Amino acid sequence: MRIAVIGLGLIGGSLLRALAAAGHDVVGFDADPETRLLARKAGFRVAGSVRETVAGSAVAALAVPLQVLPEVVADLYGYDGLVTDVTSVKGPVRHLLEGRRFVGGHPMAGKETSGFAAAEVGLFSGCAWVLCLEPDETDLGDWLLLAGMFTGMGARVVPATAAEHDTAVARISHVPHLFAAVLAQQLGGSPLAGALAAGSFRDGTRVAATRAELTAAMCGGNRDAVRAELGRLMGELTTMAAALDHPEPVKALVPLLRPASELRRAWPPAPGAAEKITARIDRLLELGRSGGWVTSVNGTDLVGMRPESGRIVP
């Protein structure tokens, strides 16, 4: 079975390497001629166009940024195999690919460097790879094919609907980027604060150093979920501000802060024992909602895991 990888940056390049290492027949393409040359020099088969790459492939993995995805999808004209992607927002991509054999994906992997030169065969080992499932829409066979491919590379495949994914990443990545930016901005005009800043500031603002264009694309691409979560958290901050105005602010703050302290100390949860998972969309979505993931796929025999307590909520 041949797999086409379109876009050979950090994620696409690592995917090409990992799939080849897992014994798959792979062919790659990148819009940049230098990147194509690099991949060829690394011993990979690289085609000259999107159409040429996907011709004869059973799966086309689109590893390009969100903003060029419509262009690449247009270039798929004529290809009727299975399509997946790796972008960080799943609702808009689901609409873009409507009417195709499509299962959206999002590997939660990355590092500070980018490009094919930074690609690593082991980038996805142990990483969570969201693979979208929509009741009455996704073909379970297609989903299992991809789940087998990704678990075969060592990824933990997390089933979720596109909407569930977008809310979750708004919570754990996009809104944290906005919070970090707002905290880092305080350095402006305040060299004294910069001189006193230490651990809590360093960690709380680390991702604020991300290029503004990248953070904006991420948050803007997931605007609906980010807007909703940001609004909810601003409500929580308003409650904190009211506690500071309380006659006894320390007493008023403790119950507001305790759940966060307990939740954070319980994270990340320890994985429980391996369990058999029924290959059904509703059962898979339930696994994802409980914080679990699929670790191996053998036909329709699935093995999965979930957090030790079943739920990480204390």
Tell me which residues in 196-215 interact with a copy of itself (CB under 8 A).
196-201, 203-213, 215
The single residue among 98, 189, 270, 276 that binds a copy of itself, judged by CB under 8 A, is 189
CA gap 278, 291 in Å, rounded: 16
The least distance separating a copy of itself from the CB of residue 182, rounded to whole angstroms, comes to 5
The single residue among 173, 272, 296, 308 that binds a copy of itself, judged by CB under 8 A, is 173
The single residue among 219, 277, 279, 284 that binds a copy of itself, judged by CB under 8 A, is 219
- Only one of the segments 35-43, 114-122, 143-151, 251-259 lies at the binding site for a copy of itself (rule: CB under 8 A); that segment is 251-259
CA gap 138, 223 in Å, rounded: 24
Choice between 23 and 255, CB closer to a copy of itself: 255
Give residues 17-56 in contact with a copy of itself (rule: CB under 8 A). Answer: none
Choice between 24 and 171, CB closer to a copy of itself: 171
- Only one of the segments 1-9, 75-83, 138-146, 194-202 lies at the binding site for a copy of itself (rule: CB under 8 A); that segment is 194-202
Give residues 54-113 in contact with a copy of itself (rule: CB under 8 A). Answer: 108, 110
CA gap 60, 55 in Å, rounded: 10
- Indicate the residue type of 91: G
Angle between helices 249-265 and 223-245 (to 10 degrees): 140
Task: Compute the Cα dihedral for 271, 277, 279, 280 and give only its sign.
Answer: negative
Token match 């999808």: residue? Answer: 73
Backbone angles phi, psi at 267, to 5 degrees: -110, 140
* Position 238 contacts a copy of itself (CB under 8 A): yes
Structure tokens at 101: 């054999």
Picking from 27, 30, 77, the residue whose alpha carbon sits closest to that of residue 56 is: 27
The single residue among 52, 193, 274, 300 that binds a copy of itself, judged by CB under 8 A, is 193
* Position 186 contacts a copy of itself (CB under 8 A): yes
The least distance separating a copy of itself from the CB of residue 141, rounded to whole angstroms, comes to 24
CA atoms within 13 A of residue 81's CA, in its CB half-sphere = 22
CA atoms within 13 A of residue 36's CA, in its CB half-sphere = 13
Choice between 24 and 114, CB closer to a copy of itself: 114
| Per-residue contact string for residues 117-156; x = within reach of a copy of itself by CB under 8 A | -----------x-x--------------------------
CA gap 145, 101 in Å, rounded: 12
The single residue among 37, 68, 117, 257 that binds a copy of itself, judged by CB under 8 A, is 257
Task: Compute the Cα dihedral for 249, 251, 252, 255 and give only its sign.
Answer: positive
Choice between 79 and 293, CB closer to a copy of itself: 293
Give residues 268-297 in contact with a copy of itself (rule: CB under 8 A). Answer: 268-269, 288-293
Helix (H) or strand (E) holding 189: none
Contact 51, 77 (CB under 8 A): yes
